[in-house]
Amino acid sequence: MLPIKRGGELEVVGWVLNPRREVPREFAVVLVGVASSYAARGAAGGARADVARVFSTALAIASGYSVRATLANVEPGEYEVILVQDTYNVPTRCETGWRIQVVD
């Protein structure tokens, strides 16, 4: 678990594809806590030839992203980090396996 000071910055970097192996136009990085959740919008577009190669689709070439968010308004506590995207009007949740601890 990654500890981050309240008011500090979180950067989430990776790649994102929908179940159809397409890059979503936008998505959100969501911190899911026991009492509250917080979201930051993200957009893909970074070059990820490795992802395109693994999934055997040129559509994945621009699946990379980097989302930065300041945690000034995030209450102290433990949060799961997930991605949520709209896949043709159906919300798709992507488990990252990452957890953070916001501390005062």
Residue located via tokens 């070059």? 47
82: which residues sit within 8 A by CB, 6+ positions away?
A: 29, 30, 32, 93, 94, 95, 96
Q: What is the pLDDT of residues 54-92, one digit of tens each?
A: 999 999 999 999 999 999 999 999 999 999 998 888 899
Q: Which domain holds residue 8?
A: 2-103
pLDDT, residue 38, reads 97
Residue 66's CATH number: 2.60.40
* Number of domains observed in the structure of the chain: 1
